[in-house]
Structure 1
């Protein structure tokens, strides 16, 4: 459909260009408008329209070709924005050049106007620079789950000026659940604030924890073993494969770190209980679902052994 519209636009551009040539060579002299020959006005308008239609049609054809060959929706989104900016700028120069017939003068004027706009519209300019930074450095891209300042969500669009997020958490819900709201963040924010990416291409997984409080009378070795076994049953082979990938990513950096390929349990001493924190690897979009499943299975195991696992009397955990 996009390619067909592109060809139609190119065809219309050709027809308008022919009309422009015909109007230029016509022997008919129409009355002038405010001292400007009507024939000249018509020719310039037709030429400008031909340039605009041709740029639009060529853009649609190129985008359709790229879409057919691209295998990554993320790369396609960025490339489409670059093409839109390039063809838009070219069409703008072409239209003004056709209207004024002063191509160098148009480029110089646009340069002067751009210099003035730099001072008048600093924030949009910074956002445009932020878009270029996002495009080049890739702190995030469409489909990633990120936190930018106080906004957290899944990136659904990165435009020239703003990044649009499908909100996670927020004021309406918790536990990393979508709220249904859309959040727009100026691209300029990435130039001055921290950006947290939870699902970047190289390693789209995060370490997560689930904590359970038990009484001091608990057999800690048994409780820790049960928690690890439950996590192994649920995550086992998948986690080991992901840890291997994690090690490969670490090997490409200067960071030296020992990484366990099985879930681990850390013990934290509280005032009237012991907190057992199960650490495991999971995908951020499955984080809460995995946490719920682990919690239910662990409590079931613990309740099956009341003689070895005791909970704080206050149940304040």
Structure 2
């Protein structure tokens, strides 16, 4: 008796599902979503196991995610295509409310398409947006992630923190890309020497130091500008390191200006300063200056 009752219950459920197309379509949609997630997870685990190159792994992981997302959307379209009238009515009733309530959500999706097509930045590049500075480590449908670095004054070193930023920020705030188009940046080091120092000798020695550390970037940068000039109007008449002279209240300021890679700013700054300190230590005619006050009695 119980067996017959169980069969009747199952038959009623199946009849209801077949009679109600919307319910069955929803169940199929959820089922395909679960299958898609499981397949993507399995593929990602296999990629992580067999691919040692982290950059290549993340690139392939993104492609798998996008490919299966497109496949799932196609499946949804096929499932719901016969219910077009129902969908149109439902969307018509809720579109205004959804547009207001999920404004940022839709803005993030639109910004994701903008990032994918226009490429204001890519994974691995260093950017600055809305006071957040770091290397792009991930780009998702609703947000992208930065490995945060400190500001220029403290060397742009990694803090170890990950910053998640909504995609629509690319429409709201200026995006500074350190390497797009031209992968080098200009860095400056200011050396202040006393008025009594031989500033001409100091300038000559500092020029030798900065050339030693940065001159090799010049040829590479010149070649890159030639290829980049087809897309961007980048004009640099002089790419070689240079030392500028200025007079300050406490002494003569010599500014070393040179090209370097964005992620090597701290290293080149350290190496040049070490050579400058050795120069000052070995050269009596050159002395570093500092703020002083003179009282005449």
Report the TM-score, using the length of structure 2 for normalisation. Answer: 0.76
Unaligned residue ranges in structure 1 (runs of 5+): 1-28
Indicate if the aligned counterparts of 1:30 and 1:38 stay in contact, CA closer than 8 A: no
- Give the C-alpha shift of residue 138 in structure 1: 0.9
Q: What is the Cα deviation at residue 287 of structure 1? A: 0.9
In structure 1, C-alpha distance between the alignment counterparts of 2:76 and 2:39, rounded to whole Å: 14
Scaled by the length of structure 1, what TM-score is found?
0.72
Distance in 2 between the 1:62 and 1:94 partners?
25
CA contact (8 A) 1:59 1:83 kept: no
Selected match of 1:226 from 205, 214, 231:
205
Structure 1: how far apart are the matches of 2:248 and 2:13?
88
Q: Does 1:138 align with 2:119?
A: yes
CA change 1:145–1:86 in 2 (3 A) is: same
Q: Does the CA contact (< 8 Å) of 1:48 and 1:94 recur in 2?
A: no
1:79 Cα deviation from its structure 2 partner: 3.8
1:74 and 1:53 map into 2 onto residues whose CA distance is 22
What are the Cα deviations for residues 251-300 of structure 1, in whole angstroms up to 9, with x where unaligned?
Answer: 6534443023x211122221121211111111111110110111111221
SS of the residue corresponding to residue 173 of structure 2 reads: coil
Which secondary structure state, in structure 1, belongs to the residue aligned with residue 220 of structure 2? helix
Q: What does residue 312 of structure 1 align with?
A: 289
Q: SS of 1:266's equivalent?
A: strand
SS in 2 for 1:287: helix
- Tell me: CA distance 1:314–1:116, structure 2 relative to 1, closer, same or farther (3 Å): closer
Contact (CA 8 Å) 1:51, 1:94: kept in 2 or not? no
Measured after TM superposition, the shift of residue 139 of structure 1 is: 1.0
Residue 196 of structure 1 is matched in structure 2 by 176
Alpha-carbon shift at residue 155 of structure 1 (Å): 1.1
**SS class of match (1:229):** helix
Counterpart check, 1:86 vs 2:70: yes
Deviation at 1:249, TM superposition (A): 2.2
Q: How large is the RMSD of aligned CA atoms in angstroms?
A: 3.7
Query: Which of 80, 96, 103 does residue 122 from structure 1 map onto?
Result: 103
1:228, distance to aligned residue in structure 2 (A): 2.0
| CA deviation vs aligned residue, 1:20-76 (integer Å, no higher than 9, x gap) | xxxxxxxxx94258xx932235774885566446655776799899x99xx966764
Distance 1:226 1:155, change over 3 A: same
Is the 8 Å Cα contact of residues 187 and 258 (structure 2) preserved in structure 1? yes
Q: 1:52·1:91 contact (CA, 8 Å) conserved in 2?
A: no
Q: How do 1:200-219 residues align onto structure 2 when only pairs under 5 Å count?
A: 200=180, 202-219=181-198
The alignment covers a number of residue pairs equal to: 275
Partner of residue 260, structure 2: 282
- What pairs up with 1:1-317 in 2 under 5 angstroms? 30-32=7-9, 37-40=12-15, 44=24, 47=28, 51-52=32-33, 55=36, 76=60, 79-93=63-77, 97=80, 102-105=82-85, 107-108=87-88, 111-112=91-92, 113=94, 116-169=97-150, 174-200=154-180, 202-250=181-229, 252-260=231-239, 262-307=240-285, 309-312=286-289, 314=291
5+ residue gaps, structure 2: 1-5, 19-23
> What do the CA deviations read for 1:133-152 (whole angstroms, capped 9, x no partner)?
11111111111111111111
